[in-house]
Each structure stands twice: as structure tokens, then as C-alpha cells.
Homo-oligomer: A and B are copies of this chain.
Amino acid sequence: MTSGDDVKDADAALVNGEAPPSRHVPLDRGRILDAAISYIDEQGLAGLTMRRLGQALGVEAMALYRYVAGKEELLDGVVDRLVAGMQADDQVLDRPSDGWQDFVQRLAHGVRRVALAHPKAFPLVASRPPEAPWLRPPLRSLEWVEAFLAGLESEGFSDEAAVAAYRAFTSFLLGHLLLEVSTLGADLGPLDVMEESVEPGLEDFPMVSRLRRQLAEDKAAVEFEEALEELLNRMALVRQEGDGG
């Protein structure tokens, strides 16, 4: 009866690139990962549960296991998808086109952008068990490591210089971004804005108490910029020295 028509309509819509109107969208791995990221963004990492994630997708928990091997593997997929999100960022170049400084700067800001877009999920990038010593968080993707190293060497960096730069770059990113998203969680965490709060137990620490306001100021952006500039200076130095063994 109606089935033939339905199928034809669905096919036509599918060919048209539209979403199937009435029936379940067939739930692929990408949708699961995206839903997981959204869930973490909204409810926090601790709230993520297979059952609840299934619920958010209108499906039972066990259905997810057709697409992900388990929760650990799901989380791995989440960090993959996060770093892969940088590939879509057209501000980030996959090779230097305007000098290596520009290249590194764009890459750094790309990583920072995904960190700020997903503050609750970003710590995952740092805390997942490491796969190899040459995959340093938060650059958890062979593609980007390759791009970084190749990019630098194409701009005159030696092997040693490129590797050293890679190490310094990841350390810089991890420290700054982890702290930035961390304090970002602390700012929105307390319910009231507490404009002039007298925190309890702070009277034993006069320095902290006195500098309370300046310590609470959010200067993460300029700090990031300055530290990045400093890093570029160091990289420029190590670039033009033959070897430093």
C-alpha cells in the first residue's frame, strides 16, 4: 500500500540530500560522537553515561555498541573528533604559506578555539592514556604532528630544532589551555556573581586576600598571546643554531 510510495519518497529525499522526514535517522558513529560532545558541554564529563547518551539520541544504551566498542573507545573518538574539528577551521593552515611564525600562531589559536568551544571536554585531550611518546597532548593526532614538523622543516628548521619546537609548543598549549578552561569552569561554577565577596578562611593569607581581585581577573587571552610570542622567539633562536648537543 503506502510502503512503495514511502520508499520512493525517502529515496528521492535522500538523493536530494534532505533528511528523512518522519522515520529514525539511522544513527551513525559521527552522530554519536557529536551527541557525546554536546552532552559533555552541557552536563559535564561526569554526567556522561551510556544510557543517558542513548536517551539523548532517542535510543537504548546498547544500540550505541554497534558503533563504538565501549565507553573508553567512545571517549577516544570524542578527542579524535575534537582535534579533527581543527581541520575544518580555515584559519588554520596545513602548511606554512606566510612564514612559520604565522603558521604556528594560527595552529595555536586553532587549538585554543576548540578548547574554549568545549571547555568541559577539553581536559579529555590531556587525560586520555597516551598511545605513543611522539603523540603529545593536546596535539593528539598524527596528522597534525606531521603537519607541524613538516611545516617547520620546510621553513628551515633542522630535525633537532623541529622536535624541540614541537615539545615546547605542546607544553605551552597544554599548560595554558588547561588552566584557562579550568578557571573558566570556576568562574561560572559558583551560583552568584559575588561581586565583593569576603571568602571564608582567607584571613590567614593576607597576600592572597589582598590580591584577590587581581588574581580573579581574566587575562587569559593576553597571557596566551604573550607566552606564544615568547615561544616564537625561543623557536627563532633554536632555528638558527646548528646543533646544541
Chain A residues near B (Cβ < 8 Å): 123, 126-127, 129-134, 136-137, 142-143, 145-146, 149-150, 153, 159-160, 162-164, 166-168, 170-176, 178-179, 182-183, 185-187, 189, 199, 201-202, 204-208, 210-212, 214-216, 218-219, 223, 227, 230, 234
Known: A127-B123, A168-B227, A175-B172. A186 touches B133 (CB 8 A): yes
Given A142-B205, A146-B206, list of 14 further CB < 8 A pairs?
A130-B182, A133-B183, A134-B215, A146-B205, A149-B207, A153-B207, A162-B211, A163-B211, A167-B223, A170-B175, A171-B175, A171-B179, A171-B227, A230-B234
Chain B residue contacts of A163, Cβ below 8 A? 211, 214-215
- Smallest CB–CB gap between A97 and chain B, Å? 18
- Most chain B CB neighbours (cut-off 10 Å) among A133, A199, A205, A227: A133
What CA separation (Å) do A175 and B162 show in the bound complex? 19
Q: Give the complex CA separation of A146 and B205 in angstroms.
A: 6
Residues of chain B within 8 A of A137, CB atoms compared: 178-179, 182
A223: chain B residues at CB < 8 Å are 164, 167-168, 171
Contact B208 A134, beta carbon cutoff 8 Å:
yes
Asked if B179 contacts A176 (CB within 8 A), the reply is no
Q: Is the CB of A174 within 8 A of B168?
A: no
User: Which chain B residues lie closer than 8 Å to A131 at the CB level?
Assistant: 186
Q: Out of B134, B170, B219, name the residue touching A167 (CB < 8 Å).
A: B219
Neighbour of A211 across the interface among B129, B149, B172, B189, CB < 8 A? B149
Least Cβ–Cβ distance between A180 and chain B, in angstroms = 9
CB distance from A25 to the nearest CB of B (A): 32
| Cα separation A81 to B131 with both chains bound (whole Å) | 30
Contact A178 B178 (CB under 8 A): yes
User: A178: which B residues are within 8 A, CB to CB?
Assistant: 126, 137, 174-175, 178
Residues in B neighbouring A186, C-beta threshold 8 A: 129-133
Q: How far is the CA of A160 from the CA of B222 in the complex (A)?
A: 14
Contacts of A230 in B (CB 8 A): 230, 234
Q: How far, in whole Å, are A204 and B146 apart by their CA atoms in the complex?
A: 9
CB distance from A133 to the nearest CB of B (A): 4
Task: Please report the C-alpha to C-alpha distance between residue A170 and residue B208 in the assembled complex, in whole angstroms.
Answer: 15
Alpha-carbon distance A209/B46, docked complex (angstroms)? 37
Asked if B168 contacts A179 (CB within 8 A), the reply is: no
